[in-house]
Structure 1
Amino acid sequence: MAPSQPSHTPNLDKLIKSLRVQSLEASIESLIFLLKRRQVKGDECARATAQILRQVVAKSKWHDVDQLLSRVQSAGLRLTQAAPHEPVIGNIVRRVLGLIRDEACEDRNADDLGSEAASDIQSLAPTAPPPQKPALVPIRPAPSILTTGLQVSKSMFNLLSVADPGDTPMTGASTPMSQAQPASVHALRSEVMDGIEEILDEIHQADDQIASFADIQIHPGDYVLVYQPSRTVEKFLIKAASKRRFTVIIGSLDPPSPSATEAPYAALRKKLNAAGVQTINLASNGLMAYIPRVNKVIFGAKAVYQNGGLLVDSGSCIAAHAAHEYLKPVIVLCGVYKFCPEDPSDEVSQGALGNPSSFVSYGNGQAVNGLEIENTVTDYIPPELVDVYLTNLGPQTRHHLASILADHYKTEDIGFSFQLGEP
């Protein structure tokens, strides 16, 4: 279903500007429309998903933690179904679900500490001495005044003293999430929205933080091969060029369009040349000739899976295999928010298909109906071909991925898309 006002959502920037004036359902449908048309892809999917989930928390009606989790899961499922080729959407949804669980757990612990403190105050209050002579009518001391002189309201006294000790639950017993009501829904809403803002800041700063390691990874005189460099790789190279002099070999699979006025990655080449870095344009079929001269190969990944495998642009797997054959290190630039706590599916391993018209022109002829042309737009690189994962948290190896995933995702949220039916 297309958005009711498509003129207001031609791209992600205008969609974000319209979130305050649009209804929640209209905003979700607008993003779904952009995802299906692939007008929003790559890193933009992470930012768009976080923005929409922030609106879900702010505008949807919910009265407890379970309802909020259900609202976020439902919206996240619709987004992942609109763009199944973008695993980063599911990553952001899982991050937000884990954030909600953490905030709810903190509120529950705060309530438990408050009740324990009140119990301690009651236990410290001295008990009145027993009467010397039995009275015909038992006289109960006034509940508003303790022997210590501490003034306590009647409601607080009843709250602390009326309960039967046999009915009181154990202190260490866990409370189900459905019974863990926050002290204030408004406070929980504000805390979760602040947490989503922190996720947005992480996404925005990830490229700059990765680029800060450029002068450590690239040395003077290096020959660096990059294949279809993403925005993350471009920032990394430009940062390294400010302190190092090296040569960049830019590999590309897409043929130049006949209507294009500039060669591929012309803007990047101009910036690097201005900084004194030499650049070489290279087609994918010429990679093997340059690999022996290359010192390292750098990729930008769309996703890093639990086993360490990569989802990358089509053609990158050729460069990775060539580097492995010649024992050249392969460095992957990837923000932590792209780490996916799942193993790759069969569809990911085979690669997503795109429009082949840029490679083969269609025309009328006898063989047209007998041809089937496939154009893969993504590749899967197995983990044994990767040496270093350079993230915004620093360089990582394959053996450290499990700890990073455990720090950023909850076990109960890993398979969230399989817990819900069709919306």
Structure 2
Amino acid sequence: MKQTDDLSDVIKLISDIKHKNIQSSHDVAIRTEKMLDNIISQGKWDSALELMELIKQRIKCFSQSLPDEPTASNIMKHILKVIRTECQSMSKKTGDTHSLHQIVTGDATHELDYSETVSNLKSVLLGYLSEYKEELESSAENIAAQASEHIHSNETILTVGRSRTVERFLKSASKQRMFSVIVVEGAPSYLGHSMASALTKNNIQTTVIPDSAVFAMMSRVNKVIIGTHTVLANGGLRALSGIYVVALAAKHYSIPVMVLSHMYKLTSLYVGSNDHETFNVHASPASVIPYSSGSILNSVNIKNPVFDYVPPELVTLFITHQGGNVPSYIYRLLSEMYHPDDYDM
């Protein structure tokens, strides 16, 4: 094989994420697409197998360095699925046939010889990446365009912290609807304050409440609309810390919980009800209790989790650029995005 061990492109991406040079998942997605474009157009590969190996090397490198940031790995796994699909399509065009049993069971793709040189694979993949880049850039706009279908006049919407996608969604709805928003401040980051500021500048009636007031205010709410860090394979969420409590309160009052998510946040990771702590990340406890508190710090054990696990039964609807889907449909979206052979690496 002509594959190279030069992983400088993915190492640079990892470094930029760690040093906060790029922070939003959208920016990570755009950078990953650009990296894949360079690999396909300039990388040393002749066959689909060699190209897939180059991409897999980067997935493993990224996953080991940033296991809690799945966006880049998800996009690379999606491109692996595209490569497999294109090879299968080209194989059919050249006259290769498969039995009905192979097609039904999915064994047909395993019969393909990915080590064979495919003349126009590069141009086909670059064309797909060009379209995929447009999809990434328009994804937030397409999600926001659905706002008026889900938000009605005189409703009260509750959200948590600050999500750019939710912010854009609410601003889009405000062009056609009059409604009010309750923003949970999301301690200890208090990103809800900046969210409220952004909404009021758009003339949306906004109220900020502390996390402790969620249950008391939930009875006045018509819908909960939130963003998420990751959509898990079972339809659950890895979301901002504090959202689990909000989802439980919404469940108690039978308030629908809508999750706005880009497709690249959908991951093949499955988390059971008893092991959700294993995927969490803990930030410095200094934002919860300052070091200046003195000797009391020797007597307490402080945890500051970044994420909450929200089980699928607490989610009503996922809204992506493709439309709305219930949590039980996530398995179908997963099969469309990734190939089963690439789920675990």
Q: Which residue in 2 is equivalent to 1:216? A: 149
User: Which residue of structure 2 lines up, in the alignment, with residue 355 of structure 1?
Assistant: 284
Q: Which residue of 2 aligns with 1:79?
A: 62
Give the equivalent residue in structure 1 for 2:11. 29
Which of the residues 263, 266, 272 maps onto 2:202? Answer: 272
Gaps of 5+ in 1: 1-23, 114-171, 418-423
- Aligned-pair distance for 1:233? 0.2
The 8 Å contact of residues 353 and 376 in structure 1, kept in 2 or not, is answered as yes
> In the alignment, is residue 389 of structure 1 matched against residue 318 of structure 2?
yes
Aligned twin of 2:172: 239
Q: Secondary structure at the match of 1:354?
A: coil
Assess, with a 3 A threshold, how the Cα gap between structure 1 residues 335 and 174 changes in structure 2: closer, same or farther. closer
* 2:301 matches 1:319: no
One-letter amino acid matched to 2:88 = C
RMSD between superposed Cα atoms in Å: 2.7
> How many aligned residue pairs are there?
328
Kept after mapping to 2: 8 A contact 1:296/1:329? yes
- In structure 2, stretches of 5+ residues that fail to align are 1-5, 97-107
1:306–1:339 contact (8 Å) kept in structure 2: yes
Asked whether the equivalents of residues 29 and 75 of structure 2 are also in contact (C-alpha less than 8 Å), the reply is yes
Amino acid at match of 2:243: S
Which of 281, 287, 294 aligns to 2:208? It is 281
Instruction: Please report how far the alpha carbon of residue 366 of structure 1 lies from its aligned counterpart in structure 2 after TM superposition.
Output: 3.6
Aligned counterparts of 2:151 and 2:291: Cα–Cα separation in 1 = 44
SS of structure 2 residue aligned to 1:198: helix
- 1:19-168 correspondence to structure 2 within 5 Å: 25-41=7-23, 42-112=25-95
Give the direction of change, closer, same or farther, for the CA distance of 1:249–1:174 in structure 2 (3 Å limit).
Answer: closer
Is the partner of 1:242 in helix, strand or coil?
A: coil
Q: Is the contact made by 2:88 and 2:109 (CA closer than 8 Å) also made in structure 1?
A: no
Distance 1:175 1:343, change over 3 A: closer
d(CA) in 2 for partners of 1:401, 1:372: 37
Corresponding position of 2:233: 306
Question: Residues 63-83 of structure 1: CA distance to partner in whole angstroms, max 9, x if unpaired?
Answer: 211111100000121122221
Q: Equivalent residue for 2:341? A: 412
Q: Displacement, 1:365?
A: 3.7
**C-alpha deviation, 1:354, in angstroms:** 1.1
Q: In structure 2, do the counterparts of structure 1 residues 175 and 366 end up closer, same or farther at CA, with 3 Å as the change threshold?
A: closer
Measured against aligned partners, the alpha-carbon deviations of 1:6-30 in whole angstroms (never above 9, x if no partner) come to xxxxxxxxxxxxxxxxxx7433221
1:206-251 per-position Cα deviation (integer Å, ceiling 9, x unaligned) = 1111111111111100000011131110010000000000000011
With over 3 angstroms needed to count, the CA separation of the structure-2 counterparts of 1:400 and 1:368, relative to structure 1, is closer
Amino acid at match of 1:336: M
Residue of structure 1 equivalent to 2:99 = none
Match of 2:101 in 1: none
SS where residue 291 of structure 2 aligns? coil
Cα distance in 1, alignment partners of residues 169 and 277 from structure 2: 27
Contact 1:350–1:380 (8 Å) recurs in 2: no
Work out which of the two has the higher radius of gyration on C-alpha atoms and give 1 or 2: 1
Indicate conservation of the 8 Å contact 2:185/2:193, yes or no: no
Whether the 8 Å contact between 1:108 and 1:181 is mirrored in structure 2 is no
Q: Deviations over 1:273-302 (max 9, x none)?
A: 2xxx31101111111121010011011111
* Counterpart Cα distance in 2 of 1:43 and 1:256: 21
CA deviation after TM superposition for structure 1 residue 179, in Å: 4.8
The residue type equivalent to 1:34 in the other structure is D
8 Å contact from structure 2 (residues 88, 112) kept in 1: no
Inter-CA distance 344–38: structure 2 relative to 1 (3 Å threshold): farther
Distance in 2 (CA, whole Å) between partners of 1:106 and 1:64 is 15
Instruction: Return the TM-score normalized by structure 2.
Output: 0.86
- Residue 323 (structure 2) pairs with residue 398 (structure 1): no
Q: Would the alpha carbon gap of residues 174 and 398 (structure 1) be closer, same or farther in structure 2, given more than 3 Å must change?
A: closer
**CA deviation string 1:128-159 (max 9, x = no partner):** xxxxxxxxxxxxxxxxxxxxxxxxxxxxxxxx
- Which string of whole-angstrom CA distances, capped at 9 and with x for unpartnered residues, describes residues 100-133 of structure 1? 11222233333337xxxxxxxxxxxxxxxxxxxx
> 1:306 Cα deviation (Å)?
1.5
Letter in structure 2 aligned against 1:299: I
